[in-house]
Structure 1
Amino acid sequence: MKEGAQLTQVEVGQRYEVFHTDCPARDVVDHVTSRWGIWVLISLRSNDLRFYELRNSIQGISEKMLTQTLRALVKDGLVRREVEPTTPPQVTYGLTEFGQEIGESLTDLFNRITQRLPPRSPG
């Protein structure tokens, strides 16, 4: 079972009013750039992960914040949630096509940042 709805393309000639407080695109940007949204998207770039694998890959995130972040990203259509009907249910998270595109852009951004930072001193 898969959950999550992808945002649909607007009709030709129409654009989102991103500076308006009611713009749905603004909510997606808020979720992507939230404290944990970026790390979830980057963590899922390589492969699908179960909840605890994802939590363990992101140092400092609580279960509550990971749950809230995943719910928002699933709702936005960036992350898909797959539930295996086992006892207990096994839940796996992965990126949708939309999420993969955003994840690639975020990875590119972080690569550019880390290339410009001064070298880390040992220890």
Structure 2
Amino acid sequence: MIEYSDFQCPFCGRFARDTKQELLRTHVEKGSLRIEWRNFPIFGEESEAAARAAWAAGRQGVFWEFHDRLYAEPRERNSGEFTTTKLVAHAKAAKVADLDRFREDMESDQAHQAVERDLEEGYALVSPVPPPSS
């Protein structure tokens, strides 16, 4: 299963806290399902920052831990919850080993390109019209 999500989406958050946990227990742990993640930041700058931060956490092998921290509770959209400072704090709590590298990776061209690829892939699945340019 490929999941396209935005860290600010309340429905995605509910899926992460409830449905995904059930899928992990009933299917992933038994080997009948694999879940892949794609960033689909549609709610603005904070969504994009969270997506790049998740990518950076993944570079150090703790994507899912970081993912679970960002979705741990419902958050108000575009309210300052995903500033760089707060994302670094989440990274620290998720056991990202090298926070300096995390910061660099989060702001890198590679992070921007990776998130853009996911977004384009998602849009291509639902519409023959290309997504708006960033």
Name the larger-Rg structure.
1
TM-score normalised according to structure 2 size = 0.26
Whose helix fraction is larger, Structure 1's or Structure 2's? 2
Higher RCO (CA < 8 A, seq sep 6+): 1
